[in-house]
C-alpha cells in the first residue's frame, strides 16, 4: 500500500487511481495499451506527413516495440 500526500486536488488523484485500477484489474490494460499505441502511430504519421521527419516514425516504432515487449 502506498501513501500519497497532496496539497489540494486529492479527490482528482483518487479518481485517476480508481480509473487505472479499473483498467488494469479487469484485463483491459492490453486494450488500453493498444489504443494508446494507435493514437501514437496516428500522431507520428501526421508528424512525418507534415515535416518529412522519418526519424519520428522510427522513434515511435522502436519505443512502442520495446514497451510492448517489456509487458
| Domain assignment of residue 24, yes or no | no
Instruction: Tell which wins on pLDDT, 29 or 53.
Output: 53
Q: Has residue 62 been placed in a domain?
A: yes
18 within some domain: no
pTM: 0.55
56 with 47: CB under 8 angstroms? Answer: yes
CA nearest neighbour of 49 among 57, 38, 61: 57
Number of domains into which the chain is organized: 1
Q: State the Cα angle at 11 between 8 and 16, rounded to 5°.
A: 115
22 occurs within a structural domain? no
**Is 63 within a domain?**
yes
- The pLDDT value recorded for residue 55 is 86
Domain that holds residue 55: 29-71
| CA angle centred on 21, ends 43 and 38, rounded to 5° | 15
Amino acid at each position: 500500500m502506498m501513501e500519497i500526500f497532496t496539497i489540494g486536488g486529492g479527490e482528482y488523484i483518487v479518481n485517476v487511481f480508481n480509473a487505472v485500477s479499473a483498467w488494469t484489474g479487469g484485463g483491459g490494460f492490453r486494450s488500453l495499451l493498444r489504443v494508446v499505441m494507435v493514437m501514437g502511430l496516428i500522431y507520428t504519421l501526421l508528424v512525418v506527413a507534415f515535416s518529412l521527419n522519418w526519424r519520428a516514425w522510427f522513434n515511435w516504432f522502436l519505443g512502442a516495440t520495446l514497451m510492448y515487449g517489456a509487458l
